[in-house]
Every structure is written in structure tokens, then in C-alpha cells.
Amino acid sequence: MMIKVKAILRTLINSFIPQDKYFPKILHIRIMYSFKYYISILSILTLLLVVSLMSKYPISSISQYKESIIQSVAAFPRDIELKIHKGELSTNSNAPLFLWVKHKDKPLFVFMANAREMSPRFQNPIPFIFLKKDGLQVSFRQFHQLWTYDPTANQIISRQQIPYFISQINSFFPYAVLLYCISMLILFPLVFMGFVTGAIILASTLTYLIFRTYFLRIHYKKCLQAGMHGTHIPLLFTAVLLYLFPFSTRCMPIVFALFFVFTLVSTFEMYSKEEPHHRRGR
């Protein structure tokens, strides 16, 4: 076991930065060894990332959110009544209805009901759930989805429905905990590992297509090995981005570009001492 750990650490140190002292040796290493090494490094990093995210977003926060939402819902005004009739929302109040919950000792805008037409200038803050005059809008960061009301619906929301809402929140709590566990322990690791592996495969394919007319004896599987050994820095960069911005997709082009550049450099360093490395046909 210790021999395998030492071998992985030695390979990690040599592979961390692509250089011509080590990468030409990969030409004589079996791809299965590189695959096992890559899976080991990726699994360890994924485990560390999952533990870090679970520390940043602990499961206890779900219970805190639940209690905060229940407290906010219980404070529903006695004289306010919301009515959905013929596909439109109406209320007996001239002012919008807001619901805030505490998030790390800061107010989080969760719910808003407003029967008036909103000005196009209204942008921030946008609640997670917004009962508008003509439909229900759910927003999360840059995602917005609007569902229009059922024209045949005739619903009234008042203080009398609060006990029912609270019971629904309590009944949904175990499912929220289960969803959290499945997301953190299964879905997130699979998505992260699949994303990284897909980036390496794509980068290796592009690298092979670029170098196939330059290096005479290039092989696609060696490009894959170069990607598995030489992309540790993009891998760490991706993990840090996911920890800091777990719901952002804006950095994906940068991540793919880094995987491609490091795979390209790793492949070049791998074949840099190979002779001949001239263009085909000369």
C-alpha cells in the first residue's frame, strides 16, 4: 500500500507542471497506469471538495432555513388576503406582501406577492418566489421561470391557510435532507468527475488533431495520457472555482481553455525529444 502511495506522490510531483524531463517517459508508460493514477487523484480531490462544500453548506442549515421560513410564514398579516381568480392575482391591500428569512444573520428575500403591474425598472432585489399579477415566477441567480395562473383556478390565500403551509414545510423537511445528501454525496461528485473527464477528452482530441500533422508517431491514447497527467493545475483551479462559486457557469470557457492549453503543452513536452518530429510528407 505504501509503495502505491509513494508511486502516486512521485507521479504527482513530476506531473504537476508539464516539463520535458518527465513527460517523454509517459510514452513508455501504459495507459492503464495513467488511468488508475488519474482516477486516484480525481477521487481524492473530489472527496476534499465535497467535504469542503459540506462544511461551507452544512446539513444543519436546512433545519435553520426551515425554522426561519416557519417563523416568517407564521407572521402572515391577519387582514391580508390574496386571491387568484380568472388567471390574475388580486389582494385587499395596496402594498406588496414580503417574506424574508435569515441567512447567516442576514435577511434573504424569499417571497413577494404584488397584484400591481411592475415597472420595467424593477430588477433588484428579486425574490425566490414572486406572485405577480399574471403568474408565478421562480428565480435563482440568473435563472427565471414564469408560470401563468390557471384561468379556471379560484384560490384564496389568507391567515387561515398558514397552519396547512407549516405542516407542508415540516413534511417536506425529510425530503430536503435526503435531496441534500444525494446531491452532495452522489450527484455532485458524478457531475464534477464527468465534467473534468469530458474536458480532458475534448482537449486531448483537439490536441491530437492539431499535432497529428507535426509529430510523425503521435497516438491519440498518448494525448489522453498527457491530459490525465498534465492538467493538475486546471483541475485544482476548477475545484477552487466550484468551492467559491458553486452555482456559476460563467467560468466554464476559461476552464475548458486551461485544460486545452495544459494538454497541448503536455503533449508537446512528451514528444519534444522524439525524432523525427517533422511534418508528414517531407
Cβ(114)–Cβ(132) below 8 Å = yes
The strand pairing partners of 135, in sequence order, are 148
pLDDT at 121: 53
pLDDT at 46: 96
pLDDT at 279: 46
**Which of the pair, 2 or 184, is modelled with greater confidence?**
184
143-148, strands of its sheet edge to edge: 97-103, 106-113, 129-131, 135-140, 143-148
CA 144, 150, 153: angle at the middle one, nearest 5? Answer: 135
With 0-12 / 13-18 / 19 or more C-beta atoms within 10 angstroms meaning exposed / middle / buried, residue 197 is middle
* 260 occurs within a structural domain: yes
* 278 occurs within a structural domain: no
Same domain, 184 and 267: yes
Q: Where is 86: in which H helix or E strand?
A: none
Q: How many residues does the chain have?
A: 282
Is the pLDDT at 201 greater than 60? The verdict is yes
List of residues 6+ apart from 150 with CB closer than 8 A: 87
Q: Would you say the C-alpha torsion 47, 50, 52, 54 has a positive or negative sign?
A: negative
Same domain, 184 and 265: yes
Same domain, 249 and 211: yes
Same domain, 183 and 116: no
pLDDT interval class at 281 (50, 70, 90): very low
Is the pLDDT at 280 greater than 60? The verdict is no
**Which of the pair, 214 or 52, is modelled with greater confidence?**
52
The total number of structural domains in the chain stands at 2
pLDDT at 4: 66
pTM greater than 0.85: no
The string of pLDDT tens digits covering residues 236-256 is 999 999 999 887 778 889 999
Same domain, 52 and 86: no
Comparing CA positions, the residue from 56, 91, 102, 11 lying closest to residue 242 is 56
pLDDT interval class at 223 (50, 70, 90): very high
3-class DSSP string for 30-41? CHHHHHHHHHHH
pLDDT at 94: 78
The string of pLDDT tens digits covering residues 224-234 is 999 999 999 99
Ramachandran class of 76: left when φ > 0, alpha when ψ lies in -120 to 50, beta otherwise: beta
pLDDT at 193: 96
pLDDT at 282: 38
* 235 occurs within a structural domain: yes
Cβ(219)–Cβ(263) below 8 Å = no
The string of pLDDT tens digits covering residues 27-45 is 889 999 999 999 999 999 9
Is the pLDDT at 155 greater than 80? The verdict is yes
* 238 occurs within a structural domain: yes
**Lowest-pLDDT choice from 116-125, 170-179, 209-218:** 116-125
* 11 occurs within a structural domain: no
What is the extent of the structural domain holding 134? 81-157
Rounded CA-CA distance 235/229 in Å is 11
> What is the share, in percent, of the chain residues with pLDDT greater than 90?
38
The string of pLDDT tens digits covering residues 140-154 is 767 778 888 888 878
Rounded CA-CA distance 125/138 in Å is 13
Mean pLDDT of 115-139: 74
Torsion of CA 64, 69, 71, 76, to 10 degrees: 170
Rounded CA-CA distance 192/239 in Å is 9
Last residue of a domain, one of 157, 192, 211: 157
Q: Would you say the C-alpha torsion 212, 218, 219, 223 has a positive or negative sign?
A: negative
> What is the share, in percent, of the chain residues with pLDDT greater than 70?
90
Q: How far is CA 50 from the centre of its chain?
A: 12
Is the pLDDT at 208 greater than 90? The verdict is yes
